[in-house]
Structure 1
Amino acid sequence: MDPAESILETEVAMQAAVEHLVHEFASVRTGKASPGLIENLDVFVRSYGSQMKLKSLAVISTPEPRMLVVSPFDPATTPEIEKAIRESKLGLNPVAAERSIRVPIPELSEERRRDMTKLVKQLGEEAKVRIRAIRKDGMDAAKKMKADNDLTEDGQKDHEAEVQKLTDKHVKDIDEHVAVKEAEVMKV
Protein backbone atom coordinates (compact mmCIF):
# COMPACT_ATOMS: atom_id res chain seq x y z
CA MET A 1 0.00 0.00 0.00
CA ASP A 2 1.17 3.52 -0.77
CA PRO A 3 1.85 5.69 2.34
CA ALA A 4 -0.07 8.66 0.92
CA GLU A 5 -3.03 6.41 0.18
CA SER A 6 -2.91 5.06 3.74
CA ILE A 7 -2.96 8.59 5.21
CA LEU A 8 -5.86 9.54 2.94
CA GLU A 9 -7.85 6.46 4.01
CA THR A 10 -7.18 7.28 7.66
CA GLU A 11 -8.31 10.88 7.22
CA VAL A 12 -11.47 9.87 5.35
CA ALA A 13 -12.37 7.34 8.05
CA MET A 14 -11.81 9.89 10.83
CA GLN A 15 -13.89 12.50 9.01
CA ALA A 16 -16.69 9.92 8.63
CA ALA A 17 -16.58 9.30 12.40
CA VAL A 18 -16.99 13.03 13.09
CA GLU A 19 -19.84 13.30 10.55
CA HIS A 20 -21.55 10.32 12.21
CA LEU A 21 -21.36 12.13 15.55
CA VAL A 22 -22.92 15.27 14.06
CA HIS A 23 -25.70 13.12 12.58
CA GLU A 24 -26.32 11.50 15.99
CA PHE A 25 -26.46 14.94 17.61
CA ALA A 26 -29.41 15.84 15.37
CA SER A 27 -31.56 13.36 17.31
CA VAL A 28 -30.59 14.78 20.73
CA ARG A 29 -33.43 16.89 21.95
CA THR A 30 -32.87 20.56 22.69
CA GLY A 31 -35.43 23.19 23.67
CA LYS A 32 -36.31 24.00 20.07
CA ALA A 33 -38.01 22.06 17.30
CA SER A 34 -35.84 20.32 14.71
CA PRO A 35 -36.94 17.79 12.06
CA GLY A 36 -33.81 15.76 12.89
CA LEU A 37 -35.36 15.02 16.26
CA ILE A 38 -37.91 12.58 14.82
CA GLU A 39 -36.97 11.96 11.18
CA ASN A 40 -35.16 8.68 11.94
CA LEU A 41 -37.87 7.15 14.09
CA ASP A 42 -38.87 3.66 12.98
CA VAL A 43 -42.55 3.39 12.13
CA PHE A 44 -44.23 0.03 11.59
CA VAL A 45 -46.73 0.52 8.77
CA ARG A 46 -49.23 -2.32 8.83
CA SER A 47 -50.53 -1.71 5.29
CA TYR A 48 -46.96 -1.88 3.92
CA GLY A 49 -46.03 -4.73 6.25
CA SER A 50 -42.66 -3.25 7.18
CA GLN A 51 -40.66 -0.86 9.37
CA MET A 52 -39.84 2.44 7.70
CA LYS A 53 -38.09 5.63 8.74
CA LEU A 54 -40.44 8.53 9.40
CA LYS A 55 -38.63 10.73 6.87
CA SER A 56 -39.60 8.28 4.10
CA LEU A 57 -43.27 8.41 5.11
CA ALA A 58 -43.83 12.13 5.62
CA VAL A 59 -42.61 15.69 5.28
CA ILE A 60 -41.48 17.17 8.60
CA SER A 61 -41.54 20.95 8.99
CA THR A 62 -41.09 23.51 11.76
CA PRO A 63 -43.69 26.27 11.36
CA GLU A 64 -42.92 27.61 14.86
CA PRO A 65 -39.84 27.40 17.12
CA ARG A 66 -41.55 24.87 19.44
CA MET A 67 -43.71 22.95 16.96
CA LEU A 68 -43.11 20.20 14.43
CA VAL A 69 -45.68 19.38 11.79
CA VAL A 70 -45.61 15.93 10.20
CA SER A 71 -47.49 15.67 6.90
CA PRO A 72 -47.75 12.01 5.80
CA PHE A 73 -47.57 11.24 2.08
CA ASP A 74 -50.29 8.61 2.64
CA PRO A 75 -52.97 9.81 5.11
CA ALA A 76 -53.69 6.17 6.04
CA THR A 77 -50.32 6.03 7.83
CA THR A 78 -51.20 8.87 10.23
CA PRO A 79 -52.20 6.64 13.20
CA GLU A 80 -49.01 4.57 12.93
CA ILE A 81 -46.83 7.69 12.72
CA GLU A 82 -48.61 9.23 15.70
CA LYS A 83 -48.12 6.02 17.70
CA ALA A 84 -44.39 5.83 16.83
CA ILE A 85 -43.82 9.42 17.97
CA ARG A 86 -45.79 8.91 21.19
CA GLU A 87 -43.96 5.65 22.05
CA SER A 88 -40.49 7.04 21.32
CA LYS A 89 -38.28 7.90 24.27
CA LEU A 90 -38.41 11.59 23.36
CA GLY A 91 -41.34 12.41 25.65
CA LEU A 92 -43.41 14.01 22.90
CA ASN A 93 -47.21 14.08 22.71
CA PRO A 94 -48.37 14.33 19.07
CA VAL A 95 -51.84 15.56 18.11
CA ALA A 96 -53.37 14.26 14.87
CA ALA A 97 -55.30 16.72 12.70
CA GLU A 98 -57.00 16.09 9.33
CA ARG A 99 -53.95 15.71 7.08
CA SER A 100 -51.09 16.27 9.50
CA ILE A 101 -49.75 15.59 12.97
CA ARG A 102 -48.74 18.49 15.19
CA VAL A 103 -45.95 17.74 17.65
CA PRO A 104 -45.45 20.42 20.32
CA ILE A 105 -41.94 20.50 21.77
CA PRO A 106 -42.23 21.14 25.52
CA GLU A 107 -39.70 23.10 27.53
CA LEU A 108 -36.99 20.86 28.98
CA SER A 109 -36.62 20.74 32.76
CA GLU A 110 -33.21 21.43 34.31
CA GLU A 111 -32.84 17.75 35.23
CA ARG A 112 -33.71 16.65 31.69
CA ARG A 113 -31.19 19.14 30.26
CA ARG A 114 -28.47 17.65 32.47
CA ASP A 115 -29.41 14.15 31.28
CA MET A 116 -29.16 15.35 27.68
CA THR A 117 -25.69 16.83 28.28
CA LYS A 118 -24.58 13.48 29.73
CA LEU A 119 -25.86 11.81 26.55
CA VAL A 120 -23.99 14.37 24.42
CA LYS A 121 -20.75 13.66 26.34
CA GLN A 122 -21.29 9.91 25.96
CA LEU A 123 -21.80 10.23 22.20
CA GLY A 124 -18.64 12.35 22.04
CA GLU A 125 -16.64 9.71 23.91
CA GLU A 126 -17.94 6.98 21.58
CA ALA A 127 -16.78 9.06 18.60
CA LYS A 128 -13.34 9.48 20.20
CA VAL A 129 -13.13 5.69 20.65
CA ARG A 130 -13.86 5.30 16.92
CA ILE A 131 -11.12 7.84 16.13
CA ARG A 132 -8.65 5.95 18.33
CA ALA A 133 -9.50 2.67 16.59
CA ILE A 134 -8.86 4.33 13.22
CA ARG A 135 -5.58 5.71 14.61
CA LYS A 136 -4.55 2.18 15.62
CA ASP A 137 -5.32 0.94 12.10
CA GLY A 138 -3.18 3.77 10.66
CA MET A 139 -0.28 2.92 12.97
CA ASP A 140 -0.59 -0.79 12.12
CA ALA A 141 -0.53 0.10 8.42
CA ALA A 142 2.73 2.00 8.96
CA LYS A 143 4.27 -1.02 10.69
CA LYS A 144 3.11 -3.30 7.89
CA MET A 145 4.54 -0.99 5.21
CA LYS A 146 7.86 -0.96 7.13
CA ALA A 147 7.82 -4.76 7.33
CA ASP A 148 7.09 -4.97 3.58
CA ASN A 149 9.96 -2.53 2.93
CA ASP A 150 7.57 0.08 1.48
CA LEU A 151 8.75 2.51 4.16
CA THR A 152 12.09 3.21 5.80
CA GLU A 153 12.30 3.50 9.58
CA ASP A 154 12.22 7.31 9.28
CA GLY A 155 9.33 7.01 6.83
CA GLN A 156 7.42 4.91 9.37
CA LYS A 157 7.98 7.53 12.07
CA ASP A 158 6.84 10.30 9.71
CA HIS A 159 3.75 8.27 8.78
CA GLU A 160 2.91 7.65 12.44
CA ALA A 161 3.41 11.35 13.22
CA GLU A 162 0.99 12.25 10.41
CA VAL A 163 -1.60 9.77 11.73
CA GLN A 164 -1.22 11.25 15.23
CA LYS A 165 -1.64 14.77 13.83
CA LEU A 166 -4.89 13.69 12.12
CA THR A 167 -6.05 12.05 15.35
CA ASP A 168 -5.42 15.21 17.38
CA LYS A 169 -7.23 17.35 14.78
CA HIS A 170 -10.34 15.14 14.73
CA VAL A 171 -10.48 14.72 18.52
CA LYS A 172 -10.38 18.53 18.76
CA ASP A 173 -13.27 18.72 16.23
CA ILE A 174 -15.27 16.29 18.35
CA ASP A 175 -14.62 18.33 21.50
CA GLU A 176 -15.82 21.47 19.69
CA HIS A 177 -19.00 19.76 18.46
CA VAL A 178 -19.70 18.44 21.97
CA ALA A 179 -19.22 21.90 23.51
CA VAL A 180 -21.56 23.53 20.97
CA LYS A 181 -24.24 20.86 21.47
CA GLU A 182 -23.99 21.07 25.28
CA ALA A 183 -24.45 24.85 25.09
CA GLU A 184 -27.44 24.34 22.79
CA VAL A 185 -29.04 21.84 25.16
CA MET A 186 -28.48 23.98 28.26
CA LYS A 187 -29.77 27.16 26.62
CA VAL A 188 -33.19 28.04 28.05
Structure 2
Amino acid sequence: MNTQAALTASLGADIRALRKARGLTLTDIATRLDRSVGWLSQVERDMSEPTISDLRQIAACLNVPMSMLFGHTHAPAHEQGYVVREGARRAMGAGEEGLIEELLSPDLTDDFEMVHSTFQAHSKMQTIADRPTQEVGYIISGRLDLVIGGQAFTVSAGDSFRIRHEPYHWANPYDQPAVAIWVIAPPVY
Protein backbone atom coordinates (compact mmCIF):
# COMPACT_ATOMS: atom_id res chain seq x y z
CA MET A 1 0.00 0.00 0.00
CA ASN A 2 1.48 3.37 -0.95
CA THR A 3 1.83 6.18 1.56
CA GLN A 4 -1.29 8.08 0.42
CA ALA A 5 -3.37 4.90 0.48
CA ALA A 6 -2.10 4.14 3.98
CA LEU A 7 -3.13 7.61 5.12
CA THR A 8 -6.68 7.29 3.78
CA ALA A 9 -7.21 3.56 4.39
CA SER A 10 -9.68 4.21 7.18
CA LEU A 11 -11.89 6.56 5.12
CA GLY A 12 -13.78 3.71 3.45
CA ALA A 13 -14.05 1.79 6.71
CA ASP A 14 -15.39 4.90 8.46
CA ILE A 15 -17.99 5.47 5.73
CA ARG A 16 -19.09 1.82 5.97
CA ALA A 17 -19.28 1.94 9.78
CA LEU A 18 -21.33 5.15 9.74
CA ARG A 19 -23.65 3.78 7.06
CA LYS A 20 -24.25 0.55 8.98
CA ALA A 21 -24.76 2.40 12.28
CA ARG A 22 -27.59 4.30 10.60
CA GLY A 23 -29.17 1.10 9.26
CA LEU A 24 -28.56 2.16 5.64
CA THR A 25 -27.68 -0.19 2.79
CA LEU A 26 -25.24 0.44 -0.04
CA THR A 27 -28.28 0.82 -2.29
CA ASP A 28 -29.82 3.45 0.02
CA ILE A 29 -26.73 5.66 -0.11
CA ALA A 30 -25.92 5.00 -3.78
CA THR A 31 -29.47 6.00 -4.76
CA ARG A 32 -29.22 9.25 -2.77
CA LEU A 33 -25.87 10.00 -4.41
CA ASP A 34 -27.08 9.01 -7.89
CA ARG A 35 -24.09 6.64 -8.08
CA SER A 36 -23.78 2.90 -8.61
CA VAL A 37 -23.69 0.45 -5.74
CA GLY A 38 -20.42 -0.87 -7.20
CA TRP A 39 -18.79 2.56 -7.01
CA LEU A 40 -19.84 3.04 -3.39
CA SER A 41 -18.66 -0.46 -2.51
CA GLN A 42 -15.25 0.38 -3.99
CA VAL A 43 -15.13 3.60 -1.94
CA GLU A 44 -15.91 1.65 1.22
CA ARG A 45 -13.12 -0.82 0.39
CA ASP A 46 -10.66 2.02 -0.36
CA MET A 47 -10.43 0.90 -4.00
CA SER A 48 -11.86 4.16 -5.37
CA GLU A 49 -11.17 7.68 -4.15
CA PRO A 50 -14.21 9.96 -3.90
CA THR A 51 -14.03 13.60 -5.00
CA ILE A 52 -14.62 16.50 -2.63
CA SER A 53 -18.17 16.79 -4.01
CA ASP A 54 -18.72 13.07 -3.39
CA LEU A 55 -17.49 13.44 0.19
CA ARG A 56 -19.78 16.43 0.74
CA GLN A 57 -22.78 14.37 -0.45
CA ILE A 58 -21.75 11.29 1.55
CA ALA A 59 -21.39 13.40 4.71
CA ALA A 60 -24.87 14.85 4.14
CA CYS A 61 -26.37 11.36 3.64
CA LEU A 62 -24.71 10.16 6.84
CA ASN A 63 -25.57 13.36 8.74
CA VAL A 64 -21.98 14.01 9.81
CA PRO A 65 -19.81 17.10 9.37
CA MET A 66 -17.61 16.89 6.31
CA SER A 67 -14.56 17.37 8.55
CA MET A 68 -15.25 13.88 9.89
CA LEU A 69 -14.34 12.42 6.51
CA PHE A 70 -11.23 14.56 6.04
CA GLY A 71 -9.51 14.25 9.37
CA HIS A 72 -7.33 11.21 8.82
CA THR A 73 -3.87 11.90 10.17
CA HIS A 74 -0.35 11.12 9.16
CA ALA A 75 0.33 8.49 11.82
CA PRO A 76 3.28 6.15 11.34
CA ALA A 77 2.11 2.94 9.64
CA HIS A 78 2.73 0.79 12.73
CA GLU A 79 0.46 3.08 14.85
CA GLN A 80 -2.49 3.33 12.42
CA GLY A 81 -5.56 1.72 13.92
CA TYR A 82 -3.91 1.49 17.34
CA VAL A 83 -2.69 4.85 18.62
CA VAL A 84 -4.06 8.40 18.33
CA ARG A 85 -1.54 11.02 19.40
CA GLU A 86 -2.81 14.12 21.21
CA GLY A 87 -1.98 16.46 18.34
CA ALA A 88 -3.45 14.11 15.74
CA ARG A 89 -7.06 13.82 16.94
CA ARG A 90 -9.80 14.36 14.36
CA ALA A 91 -11.91 17.43 15.09
CA MET A 92 -15.66 16.86 14.82
CA GLY A 93 -18.22 19.54 14.12
CA ALA A 94 -17.75 23.27 13.90
CA GLY A 95 -17.92 24.15 17.60
CA GLU A 96 -20.71 26.65 16.99
CA GLU A 97 -22.53 25.86 20.27
CA GLY A 98 -19.35 26.14 22.31
CA LEU A 99 -18.61 22.41 22.13
CA ILE A 100 -15.27 21.30 20.76
CA GLU A 101 -15.06 17.57 20.10
CA GLU A 102 -12.18 15.36 19.02
CA LEU A 103 -12.27 11.67 18.16
CA LEU A 104 -10.10 9.61 20.51
CA SER A 105 -10.80 6.33 18.70
CA PRO A 106 -8.43 5.52 15.82
CA ASP A 107 -11.43 5.16 13.48
CA LEU A 108 -15.15 4.37 13.51
CA THR A 109 -14.93 0.64 12.82
CA ASP A 110 -15.57 -0.53 16.40
CA ASP A 111 -18.95 -1.00 18.09
CA PHE A 112 -18.32 2.29 19.95
CA GLU A 113 -16.39 5.54 19.68
CA MET A 114 -14.55 7.61 22.26
CA VAL A 115 -14.76 11.38 22.11
CA HIS A 116 -12.92 14.16 23.99
CA SER A 117 -15.40 17.00 24.54
CA THR A 118 -14.68 20.52 25.76
CA PHE A 119 -17.74 22.58 26.70
CA GLN A 120 -16.76 26.25 26.68
CA ALA A 121 -17.75 28.48 29.60
CA HIS A 122 -21.27 29.93 29.26
CA SER A 123 -22.23 27.62 26.39
CA LYS A 124 -25.28 25.45 25.89
CA MET A 125 -26.79 22.99 23.48
CA GLN A 126 -29.35 24.73 21.27
CA THR A 127 -31.48 21.70 20.34
CA ILE A 128 -32.38 18.70 22.48
CA ALA A 129 -30.70 15.55 21.17
CA ASP A 130 -32.34 12.14 20.98
CA ARG A 131 -30.26 9.61 19.12
CA PRO A 132 -30.40 5.79 19.08
CA THR A 133 -27.27 5.31 21.16
CA GLN A 134 -26.01 4.41 24.58
CA GLU A 135 -23.54 6.95 25.91
CA VAL A 136 -21.39 7.13 29.01
CA GLY A 137 -19.52 10.28 29.94
CA TYR A 138 -16.81 11.00 32.50
CA ILE A 139 -16.11 14.58 33.60
CA ILE A 140 -12.38 15.32 33.75
CA SER A 141 -12.66 18.95 34.83
CA GLY A 142 -15.24 21.68 35.36
CA ARG A 143 -19.01 21.29 35.83
CA LEU A 144 -21.79 20.56 33.40
CA ASP A 145 -25.57 20.76 33.73
CA LEU A 146 -27.41 17.89 32.05
CA VAL A 147 -31.06 17.11 31.47
CA ILE A 148 -31.44 13.41 30.66
CA GLY A 149 -34.88 12.00 30.05
CA GLY A 150 -36.43 15.03 31.76
CA GLN A 151 -34.26 14.79 34.91
CA ALA A 152 -31.78 17.56 35.74
CA PHE A 153 -28.26 16.83 37.01
CA THR A 154 -25.09 18.81 37.66
CA VAL A 155 -21.94 16.73 37.19
CA SER A 156 -18.44 17.73 38.24
CA ALA A 157 -14.89 16.45 37.86
CA GLY A 158 -14.77 12.74 38.73
CA ASP A 159 -18.50 12.17 38.06
CA SER A 160 -19.84 10.00 35.26
CA PHE A 161 -23.26 9.66 33.64
CA ARG A 162 -25.18 7.48 31.18
CA ILE A 163 -27.68 8.26 28.43
CA ARG A 164 -29.73 5.39 26.98
CA HIS A 165 -31.50 6.57 23.82
CA GLU A 166 -33.18 9.34 25.80
CA PRO A 167 -33.63 13.00 24.98
CA TYR A 168 -30.85 15.03 26.53
CA HIS A 169 -29.54 18.56 26.72
CA TRP A 170 -26.37 20.09 28.21
CA ALA A 171 -25.33 23.54 29.40
CA ASN A 172 -22.20 25.00 30.93
CA PRO A 173 -23.37 28.20 32.66
CA TYR A 174 -20.15 28.29 34.70
CA ASP A 175 -17.03 30.43 34.31
CA GLN A 176 -14.72 27.48 33.51
CA PRO A 177 -14.78 25.07 30.57
CA ALA A 178 -15.92 21.51 31.29
CA VAL A 179 -13.97 18.63 29.79
CA ALA A 180 -15.44 15.14 29.38
CA ILE A 181 -14.64 11.82 27.79
CA TRP A 182 -17.66 10.18 26.09
CA VAL A 183 -18.09 6.62 24.90
CA ILE A 184 -20.88 6.33 22.34
CA ALA A 185 -22.31 3.11 20.88
CA PRO A 186 -22.83 2.73 18.02
CA PRO A 187 -20.55 5.39 16.51
CA VAL A 188 -22.49 8.43 15.32
CA TYR A 189 -19.82 10.83 14.05
TM-score (norm. length: structure 1): 0.23
Mark the structure with the bigger radius of gyration: 1
TM-score (norm. length: structure 2): 0.23
Highest relative contact order (Cα 8 Å, sep 6+), 1 or 2?
1
Give the structure with the larger helix fraction: 1
